[in-house]
Amino acid sequence: MAYWFAAHLVLILHLGFVCFVVLGGFLAWRWRWIVFLHIPAVLWSALIEFRGWICPLTPLEQRFRQAAGEAGYAGGFVEHYILPVLYPSALTRDIQLLLGICVVVINLAAYGWLIVRRGMR
């Protein structure tokens, strides 16, 4: 039961991290200190996507699942949980690059707006 709980906790934390990476720039509009956490998270995530790596949270979750008697899964977090919702086909290198570019563009827009808004004051 503890391993099952740990696997789900890692899953929730991983999803939270992905959401923070994609949308955290908008949190900086309200709380400027978030920038110091968000920018390293974006750089780490973009590096993982652009290099084709798997986030270390994925194997951790899989180990907990296997210890709980469940089957693990192949691929990464995005491929296993996010892509089946967003895309009908499996993760390809091109889609992975597109996801990395989307993260960068969304955050450039968020921080660009923050800089413009700050300059208007």
Residues of the chain with pLDDT under 50: 86-88
pLDDT of residue 112: 92
Is 59 within 8 Å of 9 (Cβ atoms)? no
pLDDT of residue 21: 92
pLDDT of residue 59: 86
**Total count of domains within the chain:** 1
Reduce the DSSP state of residue 21 to 3 states and report it.
Answer: helix
pLDDT of residue 88: 46
Pick from 80, 101, 99, 98: nearest CA to 90: 80
Reduce the DSSP state of residue 72 to 3 states and report it.
Answer: coil
Which residue is listed with tokens 């296997």? 66
Model confidence pTM above 0.85: no
